[in-house]
Amino acid sequence: MAATRGSAPTIVDVAAAAGVSLATASRALSNYGRVSAVTAERVRRAAIEIGYRPNELARAMRVGSSGTIGLVIIADFTNAFFDRATKSIVDAAKSHGYQVLISNSDEDIEVERLAVQTLLDKQVDGLIVVPSLARAHDHLLPPALGGKPLVVIDRIPDGVAVTSVTTDDRSGTEQAVRNAASLGHERLGFLVSAFGVHGHTLERPEPMLSSVTERVEGFTSGARAAGIAKRNQLWVYSEDEPRASEAAVSYMLDRPKPPTVIFTSNNDMALAVLKVAGNRRLVIGRDISLVTVDDSQWAAAIVPGITVVARPVEQLGELAVSRLVSRISNPDQPDETIVLPTEVIARESVANLKVLPYREVD
């Protein structure tokens, strides 16, 4: 049953067991070329008999394709993007016959660069990357990729022609703002996750991630559509770190006329709002309203439920894989820019001020 020699049986062991040559054994197992039905069956029997499993590494080297795709992703937990995207990509890859080599960039461009390199060295057939920065991405350009196809997800790097799958955060955010305005909110807070700032600031940092820019633009156009003046909008950019974002929330709530609703650009920021509000005994959906991007199980289960801009993350992962696989088999396709629709899920975290008028805090 097991190989008589120490290590795993190879195809020559199968050939010996079936009494044929290596070439015939290979033909029988990978059915190509000409083999008689009887010998083919004999070889297959022998293969099972001795527990033969083809060495995929040798196979990959010979045929020039590893059956593996590389995923470089940012492992942040609170946004439930990492896990949902990873799972859907892993599952979709499997259904296309690929395995996934995963690497975490931790939002660091140098780590990302290295990860891409390492995965390419391991001969992945293609790459899916969540780019960590808007600029500085030579490593995502075709020459650096050695011709291997790439699909970026969640964010689009500036000025790079590349196939991307993202979500329409712009119109989702716009819709959410208009919804809040229709419930009577006239003073809006916007807590924006920003990279490269320390603590928080009122000045817009550059560059920002394309996904964040989208949300900013959506917020702006939503506010304009609702007729809410700039002076009634409080924009705070915060480092994506609990202490910093909590300080930013405190800052917002301490203003003489604080916003009645806070929009956050991701779940980290939303949790900061929950925490600070809780410490101050402010009730979400009554004393302060909250809207965030990305749905999650907890956002739906807690009281009050959190109103969210829901993104189809699973669909995004599946599409990224299917586009990548398609480019692997046919590399000369034009680049695609796929944008998936988002959806506002209204729950109870946004107070209806037309029913329950706003009470001044303190």
Binding residues for DNA, rule: CB under 7 A, are: 7-8, 10-12, 20-24, 26-27, 29-30, 32-37, 39-40, 52-55, 58-59, 61-64
Give the chain's largest Cα–Cα span. 90
**Cβ partners under 8 Å of residue 83, min gap 6:** 77
The least distance separating its own copies from the CB of residue 171, rounded to whole angstroms, comes to 26
What does 361 bind: DNA, its own copies, none (CB cut-off 5 to 8 Å by kind)? none
Q: Which helix (H) or strand (E) holds 109?
A: helix 109-121
Q: Which residue number, 41 or 158, has a Cβ lying nearer to DNA?
A: 41
The least distance separating DNA from the CB of residue 21, rounded to whole angstroms, comes to 3
CA distance 137 to 233: 34
CA distance 39 to 147: 41
The least distance separating its own copies from the CB of residue 290, rounded to whole angstroms, comes to 12
Q: How many other C-beta atoms are found inside a 10 Å radius of the C-beta of residue 101? A: 18
Q: Which residue number, 143 or 159, has a Cβ lying nearer to its own copies?
A: 143
What does 254 bind: its own copies, DNA, none (CB cut-off 5 to 8 Å by kind)? none
The least distance separating its own copies from the CB of residue 206, rounded to whole angstroms, comes to 29
**Cβ partners under 8 Å of residue 281, min gap 6:** none
Positive or negative torsion for Cα 146, 151, 156, 161 = positive
Q: Which residue number, 5 or 198, has a Cβ lying nearer to DNA?
A: 5
Q: Which two tokens mark 250? A: 């405190």
Q: Which residue number, 30 or 182, has a Cβ lying nearer to DNA?
A: 30
Q: Which residue number, 55 or 95, has a Cβ lying nearer to DNA?
A: 55
DSSP type of residue 231: G
The least distance separating DNA from the CB of residue 56, rounded to whole angstroms, comes to 8
Q: Which two tokens mark 39? A: 């010998």
What does 341 bind: its own copies, DNA, none (CB cut-off 5 to 8 Å by kind)? none
The least distance separating its own copies from the CB of residue 145, rounded to whole angstroms, comes to 11
What does 27 bind: DNA, its own copies, none (CB cut-off 5 to 8 Å by kind)? DNA
Q: Which residue number, 150 or 216, has a Cβ lying nearer to its own copies?
A: 150
The least distance separating its own copies from the CB of residue 287, rounded to whole angstroms, comes to 12
* Residues of this chain that bind its own copies (CB under 8 A): 2, 8, 53-58, 60-61, 66-68, 75, 77-78, 80, 82-84, 86-87, 90-91, 94, 99-104, 106, 117-123, 143, 146, 268, 271-272, 274-275, 277-278, 284, 296-298, 300-303, 305
* Partners of residue 127 on adjacent β-strands: 70, 150
Pairs from 137-141 (Cβ < 8 Å, separation ≥ 24): 137/109, 139/112, 139/113, 140/116
- Cα–Cα nearest to 205, from 252, 242, 251, 239: 239
Question: Do 104 and 71 touch, CB atoms closer than 8 A?
Answer: no
Q: Which residue number, 8 or 229, has a Cβ lying nearer to its own copies?
A: 8
Q: Which two tokens mark 261? A: 């609703």
C-alpha atoms less than 13 angstroms from C-alpha of 286 in its C-beta half-sphere: 6
Q: Which residue number, 63 or 229, has a Cβ lying nearer to DNA?
A: 63
The least distance separating its own copies from the CB of residue 63, rounded to whole angstroms, comes to 11
